[in-house]
Amino acid sequence: MYTEKVKNKVRKIIFHEAVENLTKNRNRSTITSLEYFDAVEHFMLNDSSHPEDHILASQLKLETKDAWKKHFKAILSSKQVDELRVAYLAGPNPENDLIELCK
């Protein structure tokens, strides 16, 4: 069991933030947003100086974009407790982390 105060403090902060992002702040915990997806497409079609960008963005079908956006929204939708998943990559002594995570 760790007895170092700094490690215990950091452990509490990290797991608290992780659970908050998985639950309460779910809509703000993504790498990107739907708006960013649209902005990149607009840039590639209208503002990019690379002809390849225009060609690539032109090939993206409406059905594909809609399917991606639907999937994105489904990932961020409200979940029941039993639908939430956590991937925990344990080190050699995971007991302390697991105890804190379960709190």
The structural domains of the chain, with segments of one domain joined by +, span: 1-23+84-103, 31-79
- When pLDDT is averaged across residues 77-91 and rounded to a whole number, the result is 80
pLDDT tier for residue 3 given thresholds of 50, 70 and 90:
low
Task: Kindly report whether the global pTM for this prediction surpasses the value 0.85.
Answer: no
Task: Round to whole Å and give the CA distance between 28 and 8.
Answer: 27
- Quick one: what percent of the chain has pLDDT higher than 90? 35
Rounded Cα distance, 55 and 16, in Å: 44
User: Which amino acid is residue 80, in one-letter code?
Assistant: Q
- For 17, half-sphere exposure in the C-beta direction (CA atoms, 13 angstrom radius) is 7
